Amino acid sequence: MAGWIILGLLVVAVVMIVGVFNQLVALKNRLENAFAQIEVQLKRRYDLIPNLVEVAKGAMAHERETLEAVIAARNSAVNGLRDAAQAPQDGAAVQALAGAEGALQQAMSRFSMVMEAYPDLKTNQNMLQLTEELSSTENKVSFARQAFNDAVMAYNSYKQSFPAVLFAATFGHASHAKMLEFADSAAIQAAPTVKF
């Protein structure tokens, strides 16, 4: 009788361990898929930026420094995305991408401010279309980032819960994934001020 009890406990333990392993794999795959969605949208944005700069180049010839800063920041962000895409659960790579995205956002903000001084650009049909596409892509990046951060939270929460916490490191899930938070997160959450 004691042998059957021990065998039953062993079967329950094995089923529990297999369940933990499978859940860790499923959550990691969900996290990687969520990052792939961010990657698609960021690549689209990175492809739009050179077109935007090219349209502006003729009208903003003496703003070369601003245009070059945008392209340099874009190239840095492309490299950050490539590194983070190889291991979306690697916190350092995701943080480096967030830093590169922050620099790109600053460069694009400067570009937008400089562009305001050029009325011809504000009415240029190509510029309007590219700006609209870029704005739409920004919204998609925000939604994809939210889905990724939700997947990171689910992955980390499961890894930290019992009994997964006992086996996660053994199964190759030792480090926690990092959420993708851009430098302007606080500014995004603040209510905008409107002045008339």
Q: Average pLDDT for residues 143-168, to the nearest whole number? A: 90
What is the residue type of 171? F
pLDDT tens across 22-32, in order?
A: 999 999 999 99
The answer to the question of residue 168 being in a domain is yes
Q: Is it the case that residue 186 has pLDDT exceeding 50?
A: no
pLDDT of residue 195: 41
Token duo for residue 45? 């944005």
The answer to the question of residue 196 being in a domain is no
Q: Cα-atom radius of gyration of the chain, to the nearest Å?
A: 23
pLDDT of residue 183: 64
The answer to the question of residue 191 being in a domain is no
Q: Is it the case that residue 188 has pLDDT exceeding 60?
A: no
pLDDT of residue 194: 36
Q: Per-residue b/e over 120-135, b at no fewer than 16 CB within 10 Å?
A: ebeebeebeebbebbe
The answer to the question of residue 47 being in a domain is yes
Domain count of the fold of the chain: 1
The answer to the question of residue 194 being in a domain is no
The rounded distance, in Å, linking the Cα atoms of 105 and 109 is: 6
The answer to the question of residue 8 being in a domain is no
Q: Average pLDDT for residues 44-64, to the nearest whole number? A: 83
The CA-to-CA distance between both ends of the chain, in Å, stands at 84
Q: Is it the case that residue 189 has pLDDT exceeding 50?
A: no
The answer to the question of residue 158 being in a domain is yes
pLDDT winner (highest mean) among 57-66, 73-82, 118-127: 73-82
Residue 137 or residue 180, greater confidence: 137
Residue 119 or residue 39, greater confidence: 39
Q: Is it the case that residue 174 has pLDDT exceeding 70?
A: yes
Angle between helices 2-59 and 91-115 (to 10 degrees): 20
Q: Find the CATH number of the domain harbouring 134.
A: 1.20.1440.20
The rounded distance, in Å, linking the Cα atoms of 66 and 79 is: 20
Per DSSP, the residues of the chain read: -HHHHHHHHHHHHHHHHHHHHHHHHHHHHHHHHHHHHHHHHHHHHHHHHHHHHHHHHHHTGGGHHHHHHHHHHHHHHHHHHHHHHH-TT-HHHHHHHHHHHHHHHHHHHHHHHHHTT-HHHHH-HHHHHHHHHHHHHHHHHHHHHHHHHHHHHHHHHHHHSTTHHHHTTTTT--SPP-----TTHHHHHSPPP---
The answer to the question of residue 74 being in a domain is yes
Domain that holds residue 120: 18-178
Q: Average pLDDT for residues 172-180, to the nearest whole number? A: 82
